[in-house]
């Protein structure tokens, strides 16, 4: 089979690495890819939003399957564009990707179908939002309705911060039209867990759990980022919680989307909060999480190509999804200053230390080849260093040891990824 993966970050590197292990894959392409992905796939310089060029390329190369990984092209109808040209594509169509693309849609869906989530109100004008905030309890959460590079959620401790947040989203339009409508919701407390699932429209298969670390600095301080590290499984996601979520959250979400005429095929990523009142949905994503994918896929036993095809064909009920009984930790190596101002273009050394080291992986998030063919930094998040272990503690030790193998100027990482493990 010939497969084209759309995207160019750590998530796509992990997907490409996993797909490359399938004996069914004869050739892998990635658009646009990065310097790490180039070790397992041929990278083609087509931007993620250029559907016309992607379709043309897929036809020319007789691609059998396209995997659309990032949120923006999914929400804009990338899968529909491939299907319209008779090319099989993994991921939700535009009418289903709205599950992530509109926070107001997903909150209304949960309310309508009784799926546990925080209480909320939706606002189309700053005046109405500000009036609501006069009496709303704080802390409170503001969410831009549309996609905002994962940065459209503001947790406001005070009423003043919330008023500022309305200004940022709706008046200053920091995230453009994504903030023209906002959701204001009750602040929930508890442990966050990420659960990725495969869905074929009717059947849902649950992957292993993970936990992300979104803040830039140790102790969950600093600004929100795309994710500074992850671990899997979450020791707080017990069998009892899993059973509750399958019955009250996962299958009801799939059924609700079908009932709405928005059959979902692809990955639903459930962002959960384990509250004192039980698990509740913080957010849905209509795609693999990043960096969650970097700890989940190394633990997955199945051939991922079989699973992709089962999602498309509606035969996921025939797949026995299995994960190793081990653990993984991913530490993101970033450029100092991320997520604000940071420099790029520094040579990365030590990557070959991973060659032949079983259970240690380096997934590239922001790297490229310079004019001399050397691998250099090319983003805020540069690399995801993942290691396996029999236990979470062992995986964490292995991952931090492997971060030392890599050097580049302005290398920055958190030192407490997976520290919560100690409290389990
Ligand atoms: N790690 C969170 C996300 O992928 O959105």
How much is the pLDDT for 403? Answer: 98
Angstrom distance (rounded) from CA 391 to CA 394: 5
Q: How far is the CA of 296 from the centre of ligand 1 (A)?
A: 13
pLDDT at 46 over 90: yes
Instruction: Provide the pairing of β-strand 327-335 with 65-68.
Output: unpaired
Instruction: Provide the pairing of β-strand 182-186 with 153-156.
Output: unpaired
How much is the pLDDT for 65? Answer: 98
What's the pLDDT tens digit per position in 50-97? 999 999 999 999 999 999 999 999 999 999 999 999 999 999 999 999
Q: State the average pLDDT for the chain.
A: 97
How much is the pLDDT for 4? Answer: 99
Angstrom distance (rounded) from CA 216 to CA 362: 20
pLDDT at 242 over 80: yes
The pTM of the full predicted model, rounded to 2 decimals, is 0.96
Residue 9 Cβ inside 6 Å of ligand 1? The answer reads: no
* Nearest ligand 1 atom to alpha carbon 288: 4
Residue 211 Cβ inside 6 Å of ligand 1? The answer reads: no
- Which CA distances in Å does 256 have to 97, 109, 142, 249, 403? 14, 7, 25, 10, 43
* Nearest ligand 1 atom to alpha carbon 287: 4
Where b means 16+ CB within 10 Å and e means fewer, 51-63 reads beebbebbeeeeb
pLDDT at 423 over 80: no
* Nearest ligand 1 atom to alpha carbon 230: 1
Residue 150 Cβ inside 6 Å of ligand 1? The answer reads: yes
How much is the pLDDT for 421? Answer: 79
Nearest to 141 by CA among 192, 203, 98: 192
The answer to whether the beta carbons of residues 187 and 206 sit under 8 Å apart is no
Report, as an integer, the average pLDDT of 17-21.
Answer: 98
The answer to whether the beta carbons of residues 281 and 314 sit under 8 Å apart is no
Domains along the sequence of the chain with CATH? 2-94 (3.40.50.20), 119-186 (3.30.1490.20), 191-318 (3.30.470.20), 327-423 (3.90.600.10)
For ligand 1, atom 5, name the residue with the nearest CA: 289
pLDDT at 299 over 90: yes
What's the pLDDT tens digit per position in 183-209? 999 999 999 999 999 999 999 999 999
Q: How far is the CA of 27 from the centre of ligand 1 (A)?
A: 28
User: Using CB atoms within 10 A of its CB, is residue 159 exposed (0-12), middle (13-18) or buried (19+)?
Assistant: middle
Residue 227 Cβ inside 6 Å of ligand 1? The answer reads: yes
What's the pLDDT tens digit per position in 331-378? 999 999 999 999 999 999 999 999 999 999 999 999 999 999 999 999
Residue 290 Cβ inside 6 Å of ligand 1? The answer reads: yes
């Amino acid at each position: 089979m010939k497969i084209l993966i759309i995207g160019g970050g750590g998530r796509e590197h992990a997907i490409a690495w996993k797909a490359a292990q399938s004996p069914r894959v004869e050739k892998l392409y990635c658009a646009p890819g990065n310097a790490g992905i180039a070790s397992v796939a041929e990278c083609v310089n087509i931007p993620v939003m250029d559907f016309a060029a992607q379709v043309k390329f897929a036809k020319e190369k007789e691609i059998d399957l396209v995997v659309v990984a990032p949120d923006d092209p999914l929400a804009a109808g990338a899968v529909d564009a491939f299907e319209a040209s008779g090319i099989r594509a993994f991921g939700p169509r535009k009418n289903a990707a709205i599950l992530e693309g509109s926070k107001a849609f997903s909150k209304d869906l949960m309310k309508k179908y009784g799926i546990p989530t925080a209480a909320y109100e939706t606002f189309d004008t700053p005046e109405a939002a500000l009036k609501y905030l006069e009496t709303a309890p704080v802390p409170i959460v503001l969410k831009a309705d549309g996609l905002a590079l994962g940065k459209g959620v503001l947790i406001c401790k005070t009423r003043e911060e919330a008023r500022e947040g309305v200004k940022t989203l709706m008046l200053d339009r920091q995230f453009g039209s994504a903030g023209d409508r906002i959701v204001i919701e009750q602040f929930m407390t508890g442990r966050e867990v990420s659960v990725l699932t495969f869905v074929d429209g009717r059947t849902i298969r649950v992957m292993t759990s993970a936990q992300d670390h979104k803040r830039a600095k140790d102790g969950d301080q600093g600004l929100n980022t795309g994710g500074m590290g992850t671990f899997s499984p979450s020791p707080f996601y017990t069998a009892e919680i899993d059973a509750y979520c399958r019955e009250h959250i996962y299958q009801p979400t799939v059924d609700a989307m079908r009932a709405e005429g928005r059959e979902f095929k692809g990955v639903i990523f459930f962002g959960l909060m384990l509250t004192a009142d039980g698990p509740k949905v913080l957010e849905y994503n209509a795609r693999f999480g990043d960096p969650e994918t970097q700890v989940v896929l190394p633990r997955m036993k199945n051939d991922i190509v079989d699973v992709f095809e089962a999602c498309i064909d509606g035969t996921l009920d025939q797949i026995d999804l299995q994960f190793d009984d081990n653990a993984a930790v991913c530490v993101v190596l970033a450029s100092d200053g991320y997520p604000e101002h940071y420099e790029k273009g520094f040579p990365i050394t030590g990557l070959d230390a991973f060659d032949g080291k079983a259970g240690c992986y380096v997934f590239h998030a922001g790297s490229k080849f310079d004019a001399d063919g050397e691998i250099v930094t090319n983003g805020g998040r540069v690399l995801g260093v993942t290691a396996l272990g029999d236990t979470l503690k062992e995986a964490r030790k292995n991952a931090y040891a492997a971060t030392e193998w890599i050097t580049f100027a302005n290398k920055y990482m958190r030192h407490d990824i997976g520290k919560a493990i100690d409290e389990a």
